[in-house]
Structure 1
Amino acid sequence: MNMASSKVLFIIKSKSKLQFQFLILHSCLLLSLSYTTNNGFHSIDLESLSHSSSCNHHPSTGKPSKPPTPSTIQVYTPCPPLPLTADDARVRSIQAKVRRATTSDAFNDVKATLPAHLGIGNYAVTVSLGTPPKSLSLNFDTGSDLTWTQCQPCSGSCYPQDDPIFDPSSSTTYSKIQCAAPQCSTLRLSPGVFATCAVTDCNYRLQYGDRSTSAGEFSKDTLTLTPDDTVPDFLFGCGQENRGLFVKSAGLLGLGRDAISIVSQTEKKYGKYFSYCLPSTPSSTGHLTFGKTGSPSSGVAFAPFANSRGTSFYFLDITGISVAGQELSIDRTIFTTAGNLIDSGTVITRLPATAYGALSQAFQEGMTSYPRAPPTTLLDTCYDLSNFTTVTLPRIAFTFAGNLKVNLDFYQMLSIHSIQQVCLAFAANQNDQDVGIFGNIQQRGLEVVYDVAGGNIGLGPGGC
């Protein structure tokens, strides 16, 4: 995965400067961007910009990013995304969860907080539930375990969603989990999930980092991943009281390590092995694949999972960061003290404050030809590129445990708010003791392979 050059060259061609005013995180504009790599440089052509017609939960066009198999689902970007303040809420929730799992502190104010947030920068898949199967768009999340969807009747409230709300009375294979059933006991042990009993039925309640909630009946039904691939008696939450910023998705598909996640529920079928590629733009598609469908892409290299620290998160140790081909002088204990996890639902990568400071400073030293721009709420290393047609960026690379090195490209380095405000897509934790998170901007376009049973994670270019 290593590249010979330490610089990235972006050549921008447009008929006017206005044509380059686009958003990746805060808009649903289609960025028609093609580029080639030559002698270690990326040549970027931004000639065509238009409003996206694929910013929805059921794209009717687009080919899967890899050959379809019985267990491969198309991944797409739901729109519109929400402000990054919600991403911050998710990060605080994850960090509180990790602290609570590794300390004796009570953390009474976060006991009801599931470390997840839907809607911002999340990625979605379309699956079906019930018999006959009803199509549902679900955000998938490696930081969550319980899969849930909105259900009729909405006894409290249901938020607007694109799909018809699932009606369990219309499914011949639906049933509620009883309080005395062992599945209810399993639910009670799941981190962040509160299980209660209403007479004989097992109920659940989740509260997310931004105070969004889902509550309802713990149930089972047939889950259809593709027409050729079904999961009978799949355990899920049938949510009848749901509030929050869910961007019209029907719910969530939980990919965490806990016993109630889809990864664990399908262990006998898929061997706790899944992979995905997150599309770089709303116009492109990725994939979510369960099970081994052959050898990983030739460019995929593996690193061992780090200790999960009593949580269902996937921890992956960072051992170094380089900018412009130079390893940053960061004491490795900065990374190992708090640890680092990889998360499909966090947008902006969070680093220990010391590590982020070194990264930002080195990036600025490679960007002295370009004027600075005002910071955003979350991002502080920003530039005004309105007077340039060619932009040269210092290459950023991350090294993980096992000497797994990942070079980042244009999509994975920058958050582009407008031509006047292009920002480095990383942020600092409040201190070096907070867990780091490798977010989904940096994962875009990568093949990300989770060999949970084998204790390894794989990363490689060209996933979609």
Structure 2
Amino acid sequence: MAPPKHVLALVLLLFSATDACHQPPKTLHIPVVHRNAVFPPPPDANRGSLVTNRRRFPAADTALMMSRLHSPVMSGLPFESGEYFASIGVGTPSTSTLLVIDTGSDLVWLQCKPCRHCYGQMSPFYDPRRSSTYRQIPCSSPQCPLLQGCDNSTGGCGYTMVYGDGSASSGNLATDRLVFSNDTSVYNITIGCGHDNEGLFDSSAGLLGVGRGAASFASQVAPSYGRYFAYCLGDRTSNARSSSSYLVFGRTPELPYTAFTPLLSNPRRRNLYYVNMAGFSVGGERVTAGFSNSSLSLDTASGRGGVVVDSGTSISRLPRDAYGALRDAFDARAAAAGMRRLAEDISVFDACYDMRGAAMASVPGIVLHFAGGADMALPPENYFIPEDSRNGRFYCLALEATDDGLSVLGNVQQQGFRVVLDVEKERVGFAPKAC
């Protein structure tokens, strides 16, 4: 993806969160089901390939701006998407929607009738005129002119989201009820009601922003559930009608083998979850040559660098020198194991192999190292993925180089790990095989 070229203009008008949750239960479950269980893929769907590889962060400048809530999550792969989705009801009566779970942005928004311009989505369009709990944030609000101002087409306070891949949504800000599993409801959640939307959202109705900013869903429910949530993204290729993926808000018992690393803050991008990646190992050996550890570090003065944990981006991105060092180390060990590298790239991947006649056990292991001694030992399916767009069994190293000063730990590499985002204790946890 090209570096972000647009600037996000985001109006975030939040009401008091003290009544955001109406009589919150001791546990609040947000079901997350596999996408196939709702919309089976076509018979000829290519299940092994990440056809799309989104960069879902808002444009760079925008980042300047107890009980439990648990939700099932579904993979977007059957729809040629690398993202995961939560099934959530909106309004009263509720309209079932599929929202991309995005730790890299804040606003909760969805496509709304009437549409000036809307892309195709798999779930019904939300019509705020039919919801008795929908409340548009008025232009008369004192905060509105201080932010983006009045949207004359809707008569309310407006918003515009522009993302790094050129996707966009604009409309008016409002509050409404969100409904999760077991008819558990959360009231007065600020949402963006998008009447003009375009881009690569892959049939979802919109985004469930769970970043660190004040407008995110995680922040809005924090008075009831705390500044703590966890998720687990299960097998993206599974056909199972039940899903092992989930999203849970509120502190839960921690698995004893969870490895924690400090959560860092970037004063220039306050809504993102930063961690300090200290390096990586390939084939059981630490890679030390060919790159500088400083390229992975966050420079808080300039706001550049650092590694962001992002559920809305599929493939992890590393600085070009770090990626090159990891790829070359992987390729050297793959060659020694008899794996034949292809001469050409496949899609966005530049290290692909013909695995016909080769054992998957020969694939070199990869471990990501984080500050504080936290390690992520990735299973092969988290970094060595099939590309079946051609005849044969071709697999690619599912990582990319980036030159824009921001590295990403994407959801393919997070697959199967319980990821804990503990803002209260300023730490991020990883627990393998925990879905």
1:169 pairs, out of 111, 124, 129, with: 129
Q: Structure 1: which 5+ residue stretches go unaligned?
A: 1-67, 103-117, 189-193
CA offset at residue 279 of structure 1? 1.4
Render the CA deviation track for 1:400-440: whole Å, top value 9, x for unaligned. 1111011000221212103442111111123xx71211111
CA offset at residue 229 of structure 1? 2.6
CA offset at residue 390 of structure 1? 5.1
Cα 1:220–1:390 change in 2 (3 A) is: closer
CA offset at residue 81 of structure 1? 9.3
CA offset at residue 136 of structure 1? 1.1
2:197 pairs, out of 220, 237, 242, with: 242
* Mapped contact 2:232–2:415 kept (Cα < 8 A): yes
5 Å matches for 1:86-165?
A: 87=53, 90=55, 97=60, 120-154=81-115, 156-165=116-125
Q: Structure 2: which 5+ residue stretches go unaligned?
A: 1-25, 66-78, 300-304
5 Å matches for 1:277-356?
A: 277-280=232-235, 281-284=237-240, 285=243, 286-292=245-251, 294-311=252-269, 312-329=271-288, 330-336=291-297, 338-356=305-323
* Mapped contact 1:214–1:241 kept (Cα < 8 A): yes
CA offset at residue 287 of structure 1? 0.3
Q: Which residue of structure 1 lines up, in the alignment, with residue 356 of structure 2?
A: 386
Cα distance in structure 1, aligned partners of 2:155 and 2:205: 27
Cα distance in structure 1, aligned partners of 2:189 and 2:429: 27
Cα distance in structure 1, aligned partners of 2:80 and 2:190: 23
Cα 1:390–1:412 change in 2 (3 A) is: closer
Q: What amino acid is the match of 1:370?
A: M
Identity %: 35
CA offset at residue 273 of structure 1? 1.1
| Stretch of structure 1 that moved more, 312-321 or 365-374 | 365-374
* Mapped contact 1:73–1:289 kept (Cα < 8 A): no
1:445 aligns with 2:416: yes
1:458 aligns with 2:419: no
Render the CA deviation track for 1:304-348: whole Å, top value 9, x for unaligned. 111223211110110120111111115322221521111111111
Cα 1:412–1:372 change in 2 (3 A) is: same
CA offset at residue 151 of structure 1? 1.2
Render the CA deviation track for 1:101-136: whole Å, top value 9, x for unaligned. 69xxxxxxxxxxxxxxx9831100101111122211
Q: Which residue of structure 2 lines up, in the alignment, with residue 407 of structure 1?
A: 377
Q: Which residue of structure 2 lines up, in the alignment, with residue 427 of structure 1?
A: 400
Q: What amino acid is the match of 2:249?
A: F
Cα 1:173–1:100 change in 2 (3 A) is: closer
Cα distance in structure 2, aligned partners of 1:456 and 1:390: 34
Q: Number of residues paired by the alignment?
A: 369
Q: Which residue of structure 2 lines up, in the alignment, with residue 3 of structure 1?
A: none
* Mapped contact 2:292–2:321 kept (Cα < 8 A): no
Render the CA deviation track for 1:21-68: whole Å, top value 9, x for unaligned. xxxxxxxxxxxxxxxxxxxxxxxxxxxxxxxxxxxxxxxxxxxxxxx9
The alignment's C-alpha RMSD in Å is 2.8
Cα distance in structure 2, aligned partners of 1:265 and 1:81: 38
Cα distance in structure 1, aligned partners of 2:266 and 2:326: 26
Cα 1:99–1:269 change in 2 (3 A) is: closer
Cα distance in structure 1, aligned partners of 2:101 and 2:429: 19
| TM-score after normalising by structure 2 | 0.78
